[in-house]
Amino acid sequence: EAGVTQFPSHSVIEKGQTVTLRCDPISGHDNLYWYRRVMGKEIKFLLHFVKESKQDESGMPNNRFLAERTGGTYSTLKVQPAELEDSGVYFCASSQDRATDTQYFGPGTRLTVL
């Protein structure tokens, strides 16, 4: 069974540009989460989808971040315009059943904003 995949693995952009990160969850997993680790600190929650609906986006830093999950399959996270403080590793995770709550993580996308 394929795990959670993320694309790209690395992205280097200039301040003010736009970047879109993609996450493909494990097939059949309704729950999809985005997290971010900045500057070697703790991994922080960004938002949670159940199928195509946003259940909790309390961790989104500001309105420069837009997440979508059209059709309830893969998800995208767009940063527009990117700022220096957006640099970090963006992780996606999925889980099948909220009650079991075991989240399986992808390899992450390392974003560098110059």
Partner 1 sequence: GEDVEQSLFLSVREGDSSVINCTYTDSSSTYLYWYKQEPGAGLQLLTYIFSNMDMKQDQRLTVLLNKKDKHLSLRIADTQTGDSAIYFCAENGDDYKLSFGAGTTVTVRA
Give the pairing of strands 10-13 and 109-113: parallel
Q: Which positions from 51 through 90 interact with partner 1, judged by CB under 8 A?
A: 56, 59
101 binds partner 1 (CB under 8 A): yes
Q: How far is the CB of 103 from partner 1 (least distance, A)?
A: 6
Cα 61 versus chain centre, distance: 13
Helix-strand-coil split of the chain, %, nearest 5: 5, 50, 45
Joined together, the tokens standing for residue 88 give 């970090």
42 binds partner 1 (CB under 8 A): yes
Q: Which stretch binds partner 1 (CB under 8 A): 11-19, 66-74, 80-88, 95-103?
A: 95-103
Count of beta carbons in the 10 Å neighbourhood of residue 21:
20
Binding residues vs partner 1 (CB under 8 A): 4, 6, 33, 35, 40-45, 48, 56, 59, 91, 93, 98, 101-108
